[in-house]
Chains A and B, each alone.
Chain A
């Protein structure tokens, strides 16, 4: 095996970071579809924050690494972090049971804050590495990018079904867009 068939450290880091984003967005879907917990508007915004970080990583993987890609990824991560921190503060008072179920004793918005911290640290480390040969067309990189694009499409469809084309309810309990479609077209 020649040394060129192995990915560079920065390429591997970008792909592993995208794998982490795909894992988090997938688990959010499992919680929504299997456990039936509908995401609140702040939860959806936190998903968008992860999507923005993933988007920046996809740019690196498909087009090569540029500081502008990392910059936009960091900005999206910081906005997502603000959203998750606001939701943590909304439920920080003693006796508040928080919003939604917990996973490993922490609420999902707290996990989102931890996730953003880890991903932003990862982006900082990737910026320090020599960013050569980050562009990749391996089956693993392609599968990751396709999985990520499908997850974003899934989030688009699910948000439309949950909220319709307007704002979402603060504490959603039903798929309002889906109910509107059913009443409009009678199925």
Chain B
């Protein structure tokens, strides 16, 4: 789990957006959301001991 990865993709995407590469930026934004979801899935593996 490379914790720095979503920051790296977000930084690359923001640089693209600064130069008005909208679709490329949007694609990298979607990748960043996907990485965050996967990282959260990796991290939240145990059940919480509370009744919800």
Interface residues of A (CB under 8 A from B): 41-42, 44-45, 48-49, 51-52, 55-56, 58-59, 62-63, 68-69, 72, 75-76, 79-80, 82-83, 86, 89-90, 92-93, 145, 148-149, 152-153, 155-156, 159-160, 163, 165-168
- CB pair B1–A166 under 8 Å, yes or no, is yes
Residue-wise, chain B 37-48 has the 8 Å CB interface mask toward A (1 for contact) of 101100110001
- CB pair A163–B4 under 8 Å, yes or no, is yes
- CB pair B33–A83 under 8 Å, yes or no, is no
User: Which residues of B are found within 8 Å of A92, using beta-carbon distances?
Assistant: 50
User: Which residues of A are found within 8 Å of B20, using beta-carbon distances?
Assistant: 62-63
Interface residue from B17, B18, B36, B49 paired with A52 (Cβ < 8 Å): B36
- CB pair B6–A55 under 8 Å, yes or no, is no
- CB pair B26–A152 under 8 Å, yes or no, is no
Main secondary structure of the interface of A (DSSP, over half): helix
Cα A72 to Cα B3 in complex, Å, equals 21
Interface residue from B4, B15, B36 paired with A49 (Cβ < 8 Å): B36
- CB pair B7–A156 under 8 Å, yes or no, is yes
Interface residues of B (CB under 8 A from A): 1-4, 6-8, 10-11, 13-15, 17-18, 20, 22, 25-26, 29-30, 32-33, 36-37, 39-40, 43-44, 48-50, 52
User: Which residues of B are found within 8 Å of A168, using beta-carbon distances?
Assistant: 3
User: Which residues of A are found within 8 Å of B33, using beta-carbon distances?
Assistant: 52, 72, 75-76, 79
- CB pair B3–A55 under 8 Å, yes or no, is no
Interface residue from A45, A68, A145, A156 paired with B26 (Cβ < 8 Å): A68
- CB pair B3–A44 under 8 Å, yes or no, is yes
Count A-B contacts at CB 8 Å.
109
Additional A-B contacts beyond A56-B29, A62-B17 (4; CB < 8 A): A51-B32, A63-B25, A93-B49, A156-B11
- Pairs across A and B, CB under 8 Å, 16 listed: A41-B39, A48-B6, A48-B32, A48-B39, A51-B10, A52-B33, A56-B29, A59-B17, A62-B17, A63-B20, A72-B33, A79-B33, A79-B37, A83-B36, A86-B44, A160-B4
